[in-house]
A and B are shown apart, each in its own frame.
Chain A
Amino acid sequence: MSSLPDPQLPAGPIAEAWRRSREALPLISPLRKRNLTLLVVGTGLAGASAAATLAEQGYRVRVLSFHDSPRRAHSVAAQGGINAARAQAVDGDSVSRLFADTLRGGDFRAREAGCQRLAEISSAIIDQCVAQGVPFAREYGGTLATRSFGGALVSRTFYARGQTGQQLLYGAYQALMRQVAAGRVELLCRREVLELITVDGVARGVVCRDLLSGALEVHTAQAVLLATGGYSNVYFLSTNALKSNASAIWQAHRQGALFANPCFTQIHPTCIPSGDAYQCKLTLMSESLRNDGRIWLPASAGDERAPAAIPEDERDYFLERLYPAYGNMAPRDVASRRARELCNAGHGVGPGGRSVYLDLRDAIAREGRQVIEARYGNLLEMYERISGDDPTDTPMRIYPAPHYTMGGLWVDYPLMSSIPGLFVLGEANFSEHGANRLGASALMQGLADGYFIAPATVTAWLSGHPTPTIADDAPACREALERARSRIGALFQGGGTLPVDAFHRQL
Chain B
Amino acid sequence: MIEHCGISRDAGGLRSGLEELAALAGRFHAEVRVPGTAEGPNPELEKALRVADFFGLAQLMLRDALAREESCGAHFREEHQSAEGEARRDDANFAHIAAWEHRGDGAEPLRHAEPLRFTTLQPSTRSYR
Contacts and interface: CB of A to CB of B under 8 A. Distances in A.
A–B in direct contact per CB < 8 Å? yes
Contacts of B44: 499-500
Interface residues on B, range: 35 or more
A253 interface: yes
B11 interface: no
B47 A500 contact: yes
A259 B99 contact: yes
A436 B76 contact: no
Contacts of B47: 500-501, 504
Most chain A C-beta atoms within 10 Å of own C-beta, residue among B7, B46, B76:
B7
Interface string B85-129: 101010100010111111001000010111011111101101011
Interface in A53-87: none
Nearest to B36: A492
Interface stretch (A23-31, A260-268, A468-476): A260-268
Interface in B6-51: 6-9, 21, 24, 27-34, 37-42, 44-51
Contacts, number: 248
B58 A234 contact: yes
B74 interface: yes
Contacts of B72: 107-109, 434-436
Chain A, interface SS category:
loop
A199 B43 CA distance: 31
B73 A262 contact: no
A66 B83 CA distance: 48
A265 B54 CA distance: 14
21 contacts: A14-B120, A108-B118, A192-B46, A231-B57, A235-B2, A236-B2, A245-B50, A246-B53, A247-B50, A254-B102, A260-B97, A263-B75, A264-B73, A322-B129, A337-B76, A340-B8, A418-B99, A435-B74, A494-B33, A494-B34, A504-B47
Interface of A: 1, 3-4, 7, 14, 96, 99-100, 103-104, 106-112, 192, 194, 211-214, 231, 233-237, 243, 245-247, 250-251, 253-256, 258-267, 322-326, 330-334, 336-337, 340-341, 400, 402, 406-407, 410, 418, 430, 434-436, 487-492, 494-501, 503-504, 506-507
List 3 tightest A-B contacts by C-beta distance, closest first.
Answer: A435-B73, A436-B73, A496-B31
